[in-house]
Amino acid sequence: MQVIELLYFAVLFVVFLLAYGVAAQSLLYPHSQENWWIILYRIFYHPYLIVFQEFPLDELHGIVMFLNCLTLLLVLLSLCLS
C-alpha cells in the first residue's frame, strides 16, 4: 500500500516538474537552436534544483545585479529627497 502511494507521488512529481520545466524553457529561451539534450537538461534538471532551493546562480547573476543597481538608485534618491 505504501509503495503504491509513493508511486502516485512520484508520477505527480514528474508531471508537475515536466510542466514547470517546459513552461520555463519556453519563456526563458523562446528561440533556442541548441541540441535536444541541452533542452532536456533545462526541462528536468533546473526545475529539480529549484524544488530543493538550489538556484542556478549563473543565470540569476544579471537579475541580481539589476536589483542591486535599482536598490542603490532608490537609496540615493531617498537621500537626495530628504
Closest by Cα among 46, 45, 48 to 59: 46
> Per-residue pLDDT for 15 more than 70?
yes
Read off the C-alpha cell for 5: 502511494
More confident residue, 20 or 54: 20
More confident residue, 68 or 5: 5
pLDDT for the residue numbered 46: 80
Read off the C-alpha cell for 12: 505527480
State the pTM of this model.
Answer: 0.59
- What digits encode the pLDDT tens for the residues 21-60? 899 888 888 888 888 878 888 888 888 888 877 766 666 5
